[in-house]
Amino acid sequence: MVRKTLKRFYIYIISWILLSIILIVVNQSSFIKEVENRTLDYRFSNYSLAEQADTNIVLISIDDQSLRYANEKGVFWPWPREFYALATNYLSNCGAEQVIFDIQFNEPDYNRGDIDSEASDNYFANVIKNSGNVILSSQALLGESKIDVETGINTLNIEGINIPLTDNFNQLSLPIKKFRENSLGVGIINISPDDDGVVRRVPLFYKINGQYYPQLAFLSFLKSSQNNTLQYKHQSIATDKIDIPILHEQDYLINWYGNGGVEGVFKYIPYSNLIQSAVATSSDKEAVLNPELFKGKTVIIGATAPGLFDLKTSPVTKVLPGMEIWATIISNLRNGHFIKTVPGHLVNISIILLVALTIISLLHQRAVISHLFLLIEIVVVNMLIIGLWTHYRYLLPWVIYIITIVLTYLTVLLVKYLAEGRDKQKLKKIFTRYIHPDLVNILINNSKDFELGGKEVEATILFTDIYDFTTYSENKTPKELVTELNKYFETITDIILKNQGMLDKFTGDGLMALFGSPLISLDHAYLACKVALEHRSYTESLSPDDDGYYFNKMTRIGINSGLVVVGNIGSSKRTDYTAIGDAVNLSARIEGVNKLFKTSIIIGESTQKLIKDRFICRELDVLKVKGKNEPTKIFELIDELGKKDKDELIASYEEALMLYKQGHFLQAKNKFEDLYNSKYSDYPSQVMASRCQFLIDNPPKNWEGIFTLKVK
């Protein structure tokens, strides 16, 4: 048993190690990452934080309404720079902290009928300079020539190691010189969605020809915090006030607040309303918009009209204006709304521990308990993932944890199936010789209910023997004797197996049967007694010419119940499943008492107590059998209740037995003799009459009503 347990222990240890390695490798696959992205989208969609979005960020949308308004005024797309200058000047006068253009001005304006392009650009450049709060956009490109870094565009001073950025750009599409030189700064607006087209992460800066350039939203944050000196740490960028987490790929994971667009978490204002308010203010008329809307705010101007092609997809919104990506990142950075991720080595450790926990939870012998533990584990893991996300925006891997639990569960089931399959074949081989084939299948399917290594159970033991077998065998050839004996054993064995008994062993011309093990049964005593009566009934149906008549007719049976130890007992070369204990020994002695009383079925007191409400029994005697110091009552098993009317015999015998126990041997003898000479011709009464005469002739000292047998 210990060797078997150790073997399974090693199998589970090996399974744990192999599963952990496989799952750690699988977790690095692109498929798992894609599915994890979908679970991230699910978390954003179902556990939003709309109330945390920064209200100091306002989005000015160049939408269809604004395009129509401009068309009505004779201004067509692309708009002249003075159109932007008018809006920028108005926003600065309203007290806007920053005005960010998610629009590229990388080429000079062109002449229109009444608008001079150079004058228009100069006007916008002057407004940018006077405002002092305008941030412009640029785009990183791949090209044949390098850019000139002395162009006025902001570069970042990042202390620490060389950051391994994946994008290898070498050019910038910059705003025209007069714009960028007068601006607060120029930020890069490159966005590369994931393979499924969803924007989940962006770089905070780009490395171009050895220099680091900020992304648009990151530049806005740096300018508002007046800090251009940064320090690179492992998976974070440190400023004077906060550490900004970045992913292993050096990207920043955007913390989306909720639905985007006009009805989303940020305030949208049509560009047409802004222009109308700017014009009204310059003419001392009432503005459409309240100037307080922009005081101290960060204003981002970008396109939302479908025809202007600046629409993206976020985890929560299929069609999202590109400028809301920058608004979200600015809100994240300024307020410290970061998504916290688990370092890769900790994910690997958690996978290893989760595999171990799942294996342990499934090792309980009862499947119901194992599956309950597994269910609790799944619930706790999911609650932990959702709880940490909802309250702390802590991102735990979801897919790999579920795969870990499921794959481990299937592996443990497979190991158990293979191990139990071998065990069941072993059990079948062991027990097919002993018990009914139908019971073997039940036993195999309930193999956890018993132990082959030894177990104490309440059982009933049945022994049989044949009267005068030696005398009978003297007149038979060995071949005839073996043939008849085999037929006899086949008959009585079939009766035992049919009644859920286990054939323990053959004892020469007898056998030992066990009821109540290996399959536990509360009716073990009833089944054993039923076997005895069925065999007697079979014997009564035989005629002297029938095969096995003599053996069946001359069979005597002893039955006793009690605690026994059952298990595989024997040597290293051969073992047998059997039962040992006082109850077994007493059953063998009780079987031998039949010879004394010339009865066929005697049961012990422990058995009689279990079946007294279902069978007719009579107490025969109180004996001390050989090898036992404690006296025991013995009973003759007569029949099932209601089948035979022997009330008169039993009552008379009990009356005589009472006199015998009280020491009135002469009176008892007379009553026993009357019973023997009556219509019943009761052999036990003859035996007891003879014993009474013996006690009359040899008066006992301190009589207690207990007779000691000197022979087996």
Which amino acid, residue 194? D
User: d(Cα 625, Cα 628) in Å, to the nearest integer?
Assistant: 6
Instruction: Judge whether 312 and 325 are in contact, CB under 8 Å.
Output: yes
User: d(Cα 408, Cα 377) in Å, to the nearest integer?
Assistant: 12
Which amino acid, residue 273? N
157: its two tokens:
């001073």
pLDDT on residue 2: 43
What predicted TM-score, i.e. pTM, was given to this entire model? 0.65
605 membership: H or E segment, kind and range: helix 605-611
User: d(Cα 324, Cα 53) in Å, to the nearest integer?
Assistant: 11
User: d(Cα 414, Cα 420) in Å, to the nearest integer?
Assistant: 10
pLDDT on residue 215: 93
pLDDT on residue 434: 53
501: three-class secondary structure by DSSP = coil
172: three-class secondary structure by DSSP = strand
Instruction: Judge whether 132 and 126 are in contact, CB under 8 Å.
Output: no
pLDDT on residue 369: 86
- Indicate the DSSP class of residue 610: H
Instruction: Using alpha carbons, list the distances in angstroms from residue 497 to 34, 389, 493, 514, 515.
Output: 61, 62, 6, 10, 10
User: d(Cα 485, Cα 473) in Å, to the nearest integer?
Assistant: 10
Instruction: Judge whether 407 and 23 are in contact, CB under 8 Å.
Output: yes
pLDDT tens digits for range 257-287: 999 999 999 999 999 999 999 998 877 788 8
Closest-CA residue to 600 (of 589, 608, 591): 591
Instruction: Using alpha carbons, list the distances in angstroms from residue 101 to 106, 196, 264.
Output: 12, 28, 20
Is the backbone peptide bond immediately before 518 cis, with ω within 30 degrees of 0? yes
Instruction: Using alpha carbons, list the distances in angstroms from residue 475 to 19, 428, 547.
Output: 72, 40, 16
Instruction: Judge whether 553 and 430 are in contact, CB under 8 Å.
Output: no
Closest-CA residue to 302 (of 317, 320, 321, 328): 321
Instruction: Using alpha carbons, list the distances in angstroms from residue 257 to 49, 59, 392.
Output: 5, 15, 13
Is the backbone peptide bond immediately before 175 cis, with ω within 30 degrees of 0? no
User: d(Cα 247, Cα 239) in Å, to the nearest integer?
Assistant: 17
529 by Cβ neighbours in 10 Å (0-12 / 13-18 / 19+) ranks as: buried
**Cα 690 → chain centroid:** 73
User: d(Cα 137, Cα 405) in Å, to the nearest integer?
Assistant: 47
331 by Cβ neighbours in 10 Å (0-12 / 13-18 / 19+) ranks as: buried
pLDDT on residue 155: 75
Phi-psi domain of 270 (left: phi exceeds 0; alpha: psi -120 through 50; beta: other)? beta
**Cα 323 → chain centroid:** 44
CA angle 75, 79, 84 (to 5 degrees): 110
Instruction: Judge whether 202 and 325 are in contact, CB under 8 Å.
Output: yes
Mean pLDDT of each 10-residue bin along the chain, 712 residues long: 57 89 93 94 93 96 94 90 94 96 93 85 96 94 61 66 64 90 93 92 86 91 79 82 84 94 94 93 83 95 86 92 96 95 91 93 79 91 95 94 93 78 56 54 52 78 93 86 90 91 89 88 94 94 86 94 87 76 94 93 96 94 83 94 81 94 94 92 94 93 86 64
